Amino acid sequence: MATPLPAFDGTAAAVDRAGWHARLALRFGHAGGRTTLARRDHVGPLVVQKAFHPEGDAVCQVVIVHPPGGIAGGDALEVCIDVDAKASAQVTQPAATKWYRSAGRLATQDVRIEVGADALLEWLPQGTIVFDGVHARSTLSVRLAPSATLFAWEVVCLGRAAAGERFDHGRWRQRLEIVRGDALIWSERIDLAGASPMLQSPAGLNGAPAFGTFVAVSPALDDAALAAARAVQPARGECAVTRLPDVLVARYRGDASDDGARCFAQIWSALRPRLAGRVAVPPRIWST
């Protein structure tokens, strides 16, 4: 029998009851050289319709679908992903996540991931569009076995840039934490208010509406991987890459989230053969 879905955490449970509440729990298993979606439980409008194997048996790919199409004030989404030892899982989305203007209610998304020994997890969302007037918090927490490999990125656009909208009102909070074994190897917290001086400061976004973070963690991480990542530059905007002892981090800022996403996809393509032993195969959903 499948383990029951985890309860909402204390913060999410306090979100306005009138909003959409959705939970999704996935577990990827491994047997006989094949990774399968061994568990798929959901409550509310957050689903995985089918598992795919575009690279053969070894890698299991899923697309997380949120039918409402956006996250509004009062909504609370939770995603829990477990990747068993030696399994290889890739998780993406059909489109960018939209966070709508709020009348004051908090919207949240909490993603918690655990990756077992010699396993691979690729968290490859298509981006985030934060509307002016949002009141939201997004978290990504990852716990890795020492021999696990991780690729993950988050790209955010503040305001609907294509429509000329700027982020002048509201508040956007974002957190990314990675624990490897028992050690916290990366922790990033962003807290931006509409029209904050940090949006224009050269030490902040320097007037750029789009920004993002890419992380790669692997026992195979070395200086050659760092050089390969640094060889990639966006068509527009800025990207810088740093290697810490246990994690490689790339940062982007620019005028369009699409440019950041393409840059990160190119870095992923350069690193995947080195760190995961597999040529990068972009998910087909990205082309639809």
Segment 219-256, tens digit of pLDDT: 999 999 999 999 999 999 999 999 998 999 999 999 99
> Average pLDDT, stretch 179-208?
96
**Structural domains in the chain (count):** 1
Q: What is the pTM of this model?
A: 0.92
Which class for 274: exposed (0-12), middle (13-18), buried (19 or more C-beta within 10 A)? middle
Q: Nearest 5°: CA angle at 84, between 81 and 87? A: 100
- Residue 283 placed within a domain: yes
In a domain, 40, yes or no: yes
Query: Is 33 a member of any domain?
Result: yes
Range list of β-strands (E), 4-116 = 21-31, 34-43, 47-52, 59-65, 76-83, 88-92, 97-99, 107-115
Which DSSP state fits 163?
G
Instruction: Average the pLDDT over 181-194 and give the result.
Output: 96
Let me know if residue 2 belongs to a domain.
Answer: no
Q: Let me know if residue 1 belongs to a domain.
A: no
In a domain, 13, yes or no: no
107 within domain boundaries: yes
Whether residue 200 has pLDDT greater than 80? yes
Q: What is the C-alpha to C-alpha distance for residues 208 and 253, in angstroms, rounded to an integer?
A: 6
Q: Give the pLDDT of residue 15.
A: 43
At 168 the pLDDT is 96
The answer to whether residue 112 scores a pLDDT higher than 90 is: yes
φ/ψ (deg, to 5) at 275: -100, -25
Packing angle, helices 223-230 and 257-276, rounded to 10? 150
Residue 12 scores a pLDDT above 60: no
The verdict on residue 102 lying in a domain is yes
**Euclidean distance between CA atoms 258 and 176, whole angstroms:** 21
Weakest-pLDDT range from 11-15, 16-20, 35-39: 11-15
Cα angle 83, 45, 81; round to 5: 10
**Predicted local confidence at residue 18, as pLDDT:** 65
| Range of the structural domain that residue 103 is part of | 21-287
